[in-house]
A and B are shown apart, each in its own frame.
Chain A
Amino acid sequence: MNPTTRQPLQWKFSQVFGERSSDDEIQDADRISTVEFDKSGDYVAVGDRGGRIVIFETKDGKNTADQHYSRNQLEQLDYVSLNQPEYRYKTEFQSHEPEFDYLKSLEIEEKINKLKWCTSLSGSLFILSTNDKTIKLWKAQDVGIYVDKLLHCYALHHGVVNENSFGLWSQVKDRKVKKAREIDSPHQLLSSENTLLSERSFINEHGTPSFANGSHVESGANSIFPSQEPRSKIANYEDTAYARCRRVYAHAHDFNINSISNNSDGETFISADDLRINLWNLEVSNQSFNIIDMKPSNMEELTEVITSAEFHPIHCNLLAYSSSRGFIRLVDMRQSALCDYSARIFQDEECHGSRSFLTEIVASITDIKFPVDGRHILSRDYMNLKLWDMHMDSSPVATFKIHEHLRPKLCDFYNNDTIFDKFECCLSGDGLHFATGSYSNLLRIFFHGGGSDEGATIEASKDPNSIKNRKPLPRARRSSLSNLTRGFYKQGHESTSVDEYSLNSSSKLQHLAWHPCTYLIACASGNSLFFYHA
């Protein structure tokens, strides 16, 4: 856990949602299409191909200021590994519906392409979600929190309860609780159909008598609001949240949106499609500004498309976007209103030594990420994971080979379109560890300073036959961590041949996210969401 020791971390299974038995067919709509942690790591949101968004929250209480503090302390005391956050289902809502563009005779899928958390204000969560064409801002509000807050306010403002106003007030309260009920029931219906929250994972969490957990929730509620009569009635609804669409940012993209990214100023965000990047103000949904336009006047001259775009985490004026030709362009929005030409280009000159049709395809960057400090850029293309230093644009400072063993098969992969699969990448909060996905549900994790061979490889499953490279990890000593973390760790087969890697190209691990504070990765495979920690 100590970041200064340049050792691969020892990864353990932590949690799974929506685990499937092997013979189950996965509905396409249930496949997870994006995963994202919020800034504090207290929440993780998952979008799927069916246009739904599911939010999970940490079990150990809400994101109060105290908790943050204690977590920081714990981190310093090196206790984190004992206190890994565990998540539970919070809420789910339908973000996008399938649509039909009558002008262009085009079907618009409901699939959630990207999710981003916005700065939360006044206790509610804000999420930007996008499908191919339309971006929406969602607010997920805790009904329980709200009612508690109301009571709290009430108690504050009216030390003495006035009978008359209390009458009025209790009517309001009834309305709210009624609302909570109404909202509650459709959720139950939805979740019973949704394999992401398959019966087992749900029941296991709430059904198994877990005294520690149950009592914790209660005591938490009690400690915040000591002995107030009406509260206890409402406390039952604590877990119910409802989501409301606050804004719809539509009709700005001719091509499919591949990424959205919030600016550090908390006011603006960008949305990138294949050829253009637009700048929005969060509060203004009917106007956006085009800042990058790569569309040639003649579409036959098209040589590259935008594959991913992200704002710098600190400098509000810097923006990086990657292209299908393997370039990462860094743009300074201060220089001019249109940023088409003012780019600094990061490109790996080595890669352009021997050119062939296939090498050009695999050079396409599928994802870029900034670490929290913004000094580096992590990029993923089909073959490699690369780490770039912002001060060196001629070559990456580190290259981790992911799919080198597939090189002989590229031709086949081209024929069955597998070569166009897009894998995401992510970094740990300290910027020293990197993770990306691969075929056969493999999760590859590397660390700064280590080579391509020194990373860890995990198969994403509840029962991870973890595949070891040369350095086998020590045997896991526990077969089970607790009744809630139903995973156990086994040592993998030592002899892993190259072929085994690539066999199962239908099960690929494309979407993953790293917890902002601790060594915890959430990765999606099919309809399941796995959590691993170190």
Chain B
Amino acid sequence: MSTVEAPLYPIAVLIDELKNDDIQLRLNSIRRLSTIARALGEERTRSELIPFLSENNDDDDEVLLAMAEELGVFIPYVGGVEHAHVLLTPLETLCTVEETCVRDKAVESLCKIGSQMRENDLIERFTPLVKRLAAGEWFTARVSACGLFHIAYPSAPETLKTELRSIYGQLCQDDMPMVRRSAASNLWKFAGTVESAHLKADIMQMFEDLTQDDQDTVRLLAVEGCAALGKLLEPQDCAARILPVIVNFSQDKSWRVRYMVANQLYELCEAVGPEPIRTDLLPAYVRLLRDNEAEVRIAAAGKVTKFCQILSPELAIQHILPCVKELSLDSSQHVRAALASVVMGMAPVLGKDATIEQLLPIFLSLLKDEFPDVRLNIISKLDQVNQVIGIDLLSQSLLPAIVELAEDRHWRVRLAIIEYIPLLANQLGVGFFDDKLGGLCMQWLQDKVYSIRDAAANNLKRLAEEFGPDWAMQHIIPQVLEIANDSHYLHRMTLLRAISLLGPVMGSEITCSKLLPVVVNASKDRVPNIKFNVAKVLQSLISVVDQSVVEKTIRPCLVELSEDPDVDVRYFAVQGLQSIDQWSVNTRPESFFLIHLASQTSSRRDSPINCPTTPLALQALISTLLPISLFPMDLDMDYEDDGFYAEIRRQILLLTAEDDDDYQETETNNSPPTRGAANLCRLRHASYFSWCAGEKTNSAPTWLSNLWRNDNSNRTGTGVFIPHINNSRRWRRPSRMRKRKNTQATTKQS
């Protein structure tokens, strides 16, 4: 492995950063803990790194969380399973911190390690740890202990097993409700490892205690474990011990407990036989469906289909269906919405006759519901009904519902129905769609809300995919292209968006003959926003059309735009021209040699860290990678070559490890103009000001195009273009960079 031979300098930096005052640096360092450990070697990791981490437990939660996670996979770095126990110490302290997610992660990691440890170590090291935590002074330790018993128990000798069971019993009766909650939610895990004799005696006793707890929250979690516990028991035991509890819970005073039962009931049905279902669980479920608390009905209604799948169709029709009818007229809209989202699934269970006779009226009444979510939920699951009875019976009432949703006052509702249009089109067929829905799809393109227009454009693309280019040519393209003459520039912009999406679907020929002329035409628009969007669309079409068309039509158009008075238009035009060049370079095989060369040159530098030109080298390297990752399909070279990738990865690692300040300078100086929605994410003070100055002297575009020409003329083939590099760099380490940047920006301003 090349990393072993890599200079130790970055490792020293990482170790140093473990102690840095900046939390972000500490966090980065912790995330690379495995790298550090590999560099230190197994022995020094055990004797130095792990003790250091054990004491480092007062850090920010984020760091502790990362540490707890990393330590879970640390066994290979401390010398394998025989040394796994050294990891217990840092994790034990993490089990007692006050932040719940850190504790949970530490417990999870401890379980991972414990499950790999040798039996001997488990008895000698792991079990004492569990006992220590269970006797902890602070409840946080006891909470964590509950999650570890199922690892410690199986390998323990008989006397220890008895002790562990009694400790768990004490935890179930702890003073702190938090501990009892943890004991309740981990009980089924522990129960899974306990021998069946003790299961029936000890564990069931604990379970019964927990189900009678004063605290509602403890009982809630006890319910959650019911189903899992039931599956461990024999069916007859389950019916005898768990069933009464569940039936009791289904009539609990607390609606929260009943809510949990409603959610869990069908799982429990799998544990008990069919007979108890009919005699006990079905009545309980029906009661829950008619509960007077809406929340409980919501939970119960959401499980209607799953419950029906367990029952025989007769029972379902006899007992459940009347409740479903009531629920469809429920006073709470949320109950109706929950029902609507699953009720379609009942159709396959009940069969065709019952569906037409009983369910259809329910569907129809829900389709006319005044609450849009209910209608949407029905429409989203249309396919399930279609399989059983066909769409025809529904289509009569479907259409008004769709039209009404399509014109709903709330744009989110409109957005939701647009999402379902392809599904509807699929189910309803081309003919129906043409008649009724085609107009709607066009109407949305001119909606007042951007998200709707955007979704509408996307919808057209999906429809074109669904029905094929020929259909689209006939039904979509003409109407879409008409928008080009719209007086509103936002509508014309939507057109461009639609074209960029439709282009790849329609194929090269239609794009060249129909779409491209419209785009080129739009490049003469008087609104700059249209023009730079043209540049963006053209850029996206490069990959769709032939090389010749690119050279003949797209390039001249972009060149023209690159001389536009508006800076944003120029920026995107130059970007478009850039990608034309990259495209043509990358489709030629000899370019790979150049890429190799670039990586070789940067790797030959003696010490990249001290080299002032490193940022540029890095930029070059990354920009060689960009086209590779963008167009992997067109390459005939073997990119699975591990050595090649490993080398590049190492280069990047080395380069990113170098000093930030050098980089900072290069970056701010070379920053491209940033304005406009597309660039918003890169908007920063420092570069923004430099750009403003640039605009006055009109130097920015010249500088940009010079940069491009230079790269082009000397043909290094790497296509260095700063914006890409900035992007990727920022993406790698976002928050850290942002932090630095802000401070720099303020100093510059002052």
Also in contact, A157 and B215, with CB within 8 A (given A122-B97, A267-B178): no
In the complex, A316 Cα to B48 Cα: how many Å? 48
Also in contact, A334 and B254, with CB within 8 A (given A154-B55, A266-B176): yes
Query: B709 at the A/B interface (Cβ < 8 Å)?
Result: no
Query: A172 at the A/B interface (Cβ < 8 Å)?
Result: yes
Q: Within residues 48 to 69 of chain B, which ones have a CB less than 8 A from any CB in chain A?
A: 48, 51-52, 54-56, 58
In the complex, A405 Cα to B670 Cα: how many Å? 80
Interchain nearest-CB distance for A225 vs B (Å): 16
**Which residue of chain B is the closest to A173 with respect to CB atoms?**
B55
Query: A65 at the A/B interface (Cβ < 8 Å)?
Result: yes
Please classify the interface of chain B as helix (H, G, I), strand (E, B), loop, or mixed, using the class held by over half of its residues: helix
Partner of A162, one of B47, B96, B255: B47
Q: Within residues 164 to 217 of chain B, which ones have a CB less than 8 A from any CB in chain A?
A: 176-178, 181, 214-217
In the complex, A267 Cα to B137 Cα: how many Å? 19
Residues of B within 8 A of A176 (CB): 58
In the complex, A165 Cα to B48 Cα: how many Å? 5
Residues of B within 8 A of A283 (CB): 100
A121 touching B138, Cβ below 8 Å: yes
A122 touching B96, Cβ below 8 Å: yes
Residues of A within 8 A of B138 (CB): 121-123
In the complex, A335 Cα to B293 Cα: how many Å? 8
**Which residue of chain A is the closest to B99 with respect to CB atoms?**
A246
**Which residue of chain B is the closest to A268 with respect to CB atoms?**
B217
Query: B139 at the A/B interface (Cβ < 8 Å)?
Result: yes
Residues of A within 8 A of B47 (CB): 162, 164-165
Residues of B within 8 A of A337 (CB): 255, 293-295
Question: Could you give, for residues 266-279 of chain A, a 1 whenever the CB lies within 8 Å of some chain B CB and a 0 otherwise?
Answer: 11100000000000
A124 touching B98, Cβ below 8 Å: yes
In the complex, A402 Cα to B96 Cα: how many Å? 49
**Which residue of chain A is the closest to B44 with respect to CB atoms?**
A164
Interface range on chain A: under 10, 10 to 19, 20 to 34, or 35 or more? Answer: 35 or more
**Which residue of chain B is the closest to A120 with respect to CB atoms?**
B138
Question: Could you give, for residues 472-489 of chain B, a 1 whenever the CB lies within 8 Å of some chain A CB and a 0 otherwise?
Answer: 000000000000000000
**Which residue of chain A is the closest to B89 with respect to CB atoms?**
A157
Also in contact, A336 and B255, with CB within 8 A (given A122-B140, A169-B55, A316-B217): yes
Question: Could you give, for residues 307-321 of chain A, a 1 whenever the CB lies within 8 Å of some chain B CB and a 0 otherwise?
Answer: 000000011110000
A175 touching B140, Cβ below 8 Å: no
Residues of A within 8 A of B290 (CB): none
In the complex, A153 Cα to B214 Cα: how many Å? 36
Query: A171 at the A/B interface (Cβ < 8 Å)?
Result: yes
Query: A264 at the A/B interface (Cβ < 8 Å)?
Result: yes
Interchain nearest-CB distance for B83 vs A (Å): 16
In the complex, A57 Cα to B191 Cα: how many Å? 44
Residues of B within 8 A of A171 (CB): 19
Query: A168 at the A/B interface (Cβ < 8 Å)?
Result: yes
In the complex, A146 Cα to B57 Cα: how many Å? 10
Interchain nearest-CB distance for B603 vs A (Å): 33
A264 touching B139, Cβ below 8 Å: no
A336 touching B96, Cβ below 8 Å: no
**Which residue of chain A is the closest to B16 with respect to CB atoms?**
A171
Residues of B within 8 A of A124 (CB): 98
Interchain nearest-CB distance for A395 vs B (Å): 28
In the complex, A317 Cα to B178 Cα: how many Å? 16
Query: A384 at the A/B interface (Cβ < 8 Å)?
Result: no
Interchain nearest-CB distance for B514 vs A (Å): 48
Question: Could you give, for residues 217-228 of chain B, a 1 whenever the CB lies within 8 Å of some chain A CB and a 0 otherwise?
Answer: 110000000000
Partner of A165, one of B19, B51, B293: B51
Q: List 22 A-B contacts (CB under 8 A).
A: A121-B98, A122-B97, A122-B98, A124-B98, A139-B98, A146-B58, A150-B55, A158-B51, A164-B44, A172-B55, A175-B19, A265-B215, A266-B177, A266-B178, A267-B181, A316-B214, A316-B215, A334-B216, A334-B252, A336-B292, A337-B293, A337-B294
Besides A158-B51, A283-B100, A334-B253, 8 new A-B residue pairs in contact (Cβ under 8 A), listed by A number: A123-B138, A150-B55, A157-B54, A162-B47, A172-B55, A265-B217, A267-B217, A337-B255
